[in-house]
Structure 1
Amino acid sequence: MTNANLSIRVDKDTKEKANELFNRLGLTMTTAVNIFLKTAIRENGIPFELKLEEEPNETTIRAIEEGRRIAKDDSIKGYDNIEELRKALGV
């Protein structure tokens, strides 16, 4: 097998943290990247789940709906700044 060089850019902190982790696992950065690439090839895709966004759970959905309802309800007092809210709360 003929080797080829691969050059990637990554921020310094990420590189240092990854190097530290891989060293603790007994791996070099090269070995870790090769593991990733070979796994991607074997699985015919990225070897972990990619998400655009998480789906909110029922509690979050209800909170969003309540917030929207409150925002549209003129009978519920709203506040333009934190000072008004603190005064209303007595804090």
Structure 2
Amino acid sequence: MQIIEKTLENIFLQTITKIYPNLNSAEKLFIQKTHNQKFGDFQTNFPMSVAKIIQENPRTIGQTIIDNLETNHLIAKCELAGPGFINIFLKNQ
């Protein structure tokens, strides 16, 4: 795994663990590069992969994660897309 993906994973895991402490999120979180830059630099479908377990709408899960992400040195912004994708835009460094 690349350093950026691992760092993003750690950032998201911190947030997810705070919101859903009883969820074993590490096995469900997968962050990958996007195929189209208009969708950001990276993306995750985590909200869709845990929606049945959490029993919430994937878009609600995604928005909750985005709203609770702490400011960091790597992420410029995140956007919710489609049925529950989180598109991740990196800061220009």
TM-score by length of structure 2 reads: 0.24
Q: Larger Rg: 1 or 2?
A: 1
